[in-house]
Amino acid sequence: MKSLFLATAALAAFAAAPALAQSGPVGSVGISYSNSEIDLGGLEADADSYAVDGVVAVDAFSGWTATFAGSIDHSDDLDETSVAGTAHLTRMAGTDLRLGGFVGAADIGDETAWTVGAEAQKYLAGSTLTGFLAYTTADDLDLNAWTLGADAAFYPMANLRLNAGLSYSDLDAGGLDADLWTYGVGAEYQISDSPFSVVGGFTRGDVEDVTIDTWTIGLRYSFGGGLQARDRAGAALPGSGVMGLLGAL
């Protein structure tokens, strides 16, 4: 039932995006391909997956912004489809600082992990700085995790976004404690005079003796503004906590 709810919410966000774009919201819809190389203490494996994702930021009430994000991911190797969704509520503190919180859910195998957290974004002339603190739990897996993360995005040109991120998670799974580090870089180039952009990125996750390296390429459609406008409108917020990496394990 939880997975059905997530899938329905994600599909609704994707379907509504073009229509919503006519009345002012800002966001994007993308498709991507990822290849993950998993090293388990010397044993190696590859995994391929495809994803559709979308995000939209809309004015809520009294200066607050609501941001909704969803994704549907299919793994060829496991022949499994997973879904994830996040809802944010934020507002501007002054002209260049956004503060707020979020709640999200994502599949981990046959179970669902729930995440809540707080987040902040600082907008500078040619960059966006992001920080968040999140707590993730999955009762059926006896999983609890605290995640602290940061990301910095830079705009060498109006149609080019470069970013680098780092996060640390303190995992407690079945009474066993582990430290999870994730770090990555990404780029998005918006084609001139077009709402379409090409994206690429690399992410590494290290936990105990397991390392996951993931390369991603994709195509994205933006509405309501360009790359930096998406950031400033609240359509580029974090929120997955530890869920993103766990979904690949």
Q: Residue 1: count other Cβ atoms within 10 Å of its Cβ.
A: 6
Taking 50 as the threshold, does the pLDDT of residue 246 lie above it?
no
Q: Which residue has the higher pLDDT, 230 or 141?
A: 230
* Most confident of the following: 34-48, 53-67, 130-144: 53-67
Which pLDDT score, from 0 to 100, does residue 7 have?
44
pTM: 0.86
Q: Please report the beta strands in 63-110, taking only residues with DSSP state E, as ranges in sequence order.
A: 64-75, 80-92, 97-108
Domain segments of the chain as ranges: 2-246
Write out pLDDT tens, residues 73-117: 998 877 788 899 999 999 999 999 999 999 999 987 678 889 999
Write out pLDDT tens, residues 156-195: 999 999 999 999 999 887 777 889 999 999 999 999 999 9
Which pLDDT score, from 0 to 100, does residue 21 have?
39
State the pLDDT confidence band at 205, using cuts at 50, 70 and 90: very high
- Taking the alpha carbons of 51, 57, 58, 62 in that order, is the dihedral positive or negative? positive
* Most confident of the following: 5-14, 17-26, 125-134: 125-134
Which pLDDT score, from 0 to 100, does residue 240 have?
65
Compute the C-alpha angle 185/80/238, nearest 5°: 35
State the pLDDT confidence band at 242, using cuts at 50, 70 and 90: low
The token duo for 51 is 């994803």
Q: Residue 78: count other Cβ atoms within 10 Å of its Cβ.
A: 12
Contact between 165 and 154 under an 8 Å Cβ cutoff? The reply is no
- For tokens 């010397």, the residue is 42
Mean pLDDT over residues 16-30, rounded? 66
Instruction: Find out if CATH 1.10.10.60 is the number for domain 2-246.
Output: no
Is residue 12 within a helix (H) or strand (E), and if so which, with residue range?
Answer: helix 2-21
Contact between 228 and 127 under an 8 Å Cβ cutoff? The reply is no
> DSSP secondary structure string, 187-225?
EEEEPTTSSEEEEEEEEEEEETTEEEEEEEEEEEEEESS
